[in-house]
Amino acid sequence: MGSGLLGQIAATILGIGIVDVLDVVVLVLDVVVVAYIVYRVLLLLQGTRSVSVIRGLIVVLVMLSLTSWLPTLNWMLGQLVLPGVIALVVIFQPELRMALERLGRGGMLGGLGGVRAGETQRVLNEIVDAAEELSNSRIGALMALQRESGLVDVTRTGKTLNARVSVDLLKTIFFPNTPLHDGAVVIRDDVIVAAGCVLPHSERPGLSVATGMRHRGALGLSERTDAVVVVVSEETQGISLAVDGNLSPNLERTQLAERLNQLFETPTDRSKLLFWRR
């Protein structure tokens, strides 16, 4: 009798303990998930005009909480909340679209579309060689490599080519005084889809006045999509890479090749990247 009662008490205590542990685990998991989401949102908004708007919204919310004893002022501030939320959706539209696209992709980035690994490597080699030769010739270039985000809006601004990627074709397109040399080429899979395309310029505050139009266009496209943009400066001969709203300037051939291979997840054949020539 006594042993049965002790067993029931022990089982009850054990059950309560398990429930408490589960509650703690769920609570910790909840906090970690929310913290991660906030962290990713802050990373997404870092360096954009959204930061100033968020600061203004925080000020309004703080004032709203501190003015509860001033009915009229509190009511006026409260009326700003709904229009403010609508304004945020409009202002953050590019960032929200990019975030939803990334969520839809689930972070799965293959090579250049559905082409086989060997063909992806060939395309990247052609781009690296073209960038190097254009740089040595002081010829500016802008090459946008499509990943998961569609670039139809961009290709519509240029001339349709649908031609196989090659060094010679890229050099011909960007040769000075040709009809398409001022715009960007859009590359999807192993095809140059269009040339002479207009890229959206970055609206990031604080950009240096020395940042050229090509670099602003590369940044703007990388801020709005997951495209990878290679820029060659005709003034400095520098080769830059724009990805996810970040610009990596003055890359050497090996650095550009390694970055592209990392971004498109292709194995790096160093001898091919360093010494392969057409």
Which residue ranges make up each domain of the chain? 2-105, 117-275
- Looking only at the bridges linking them, the beta strands covering 184-188 and 141-145 are parallel
Residue 142 reports pLDDT greater than 70: yes
| pLDDT band per the 50, 70, 90 thresholds, residue 169 | very high
Residue 211 reports pLDDT greater than 80: no
| pLDDT band per the 50, 70, 90 thresholds, residue 50 | low
Q: 277: which residues sit within 8 A by CB, 6+ positions away?
A: 129
The three-class DSSP label of residue 5 is: helix
The three-class DSSP label of residue 203 is: coil
Give me 208's structure tokens. 């240096």
In the chain, pLDDT over 90 holds for what percent of residues? 31
More reliable by pLDDT, 111 or 92: 92
For the segment 251-262, what is each residue's pLDDT rounded down to a tens digit?
999 999 999 999
For the segment 231-242, what is each residue's pLDDT rounded down to a tens digit?
999 888 999 999
Residues 183-188 have a mean pLDDT of 94
Q: Does the predicted TM-score (pTM) go above 0.75? A: no
Separation of alpha carbons 213 and 224, rounded Å: 17
Of residues 180, 185, 89, 76, the one with CA closest to residue 130 = 185
Residue found under tokens 């060094």: 167
Of residues 60, 233, 260, the one with CA closest to residue 145 = 260
Q: 6: which residues sit within 8 A by CB, 6+ positions away?
A: none
Compute the mean pLDDT over every residue in the chain, rounded to the nearest whole number: 78
> What is the C-alpha radius of gyration for the chain, rounded to an integer number of angstroms?
26
Q: What CATH number labels 117-275?
A: 3.40.1700.10
CA distances from 192 to 10, 39, 155, 197, 224 (A): 72, 37, 10, 11, 21
| Beta partners for residue 164, in sequence order | 191
Residue 198 reports pLDDT greater than 70: yes
Question: Residue 73 class from Cβ within 10 Å (0-12 exposed, 13-18 middle, 19+ buried)?
Answer: middle
Q: How much is the pLDDT for 72?
A: 83
Residue 130 reports pLDDT greater than 80: yes
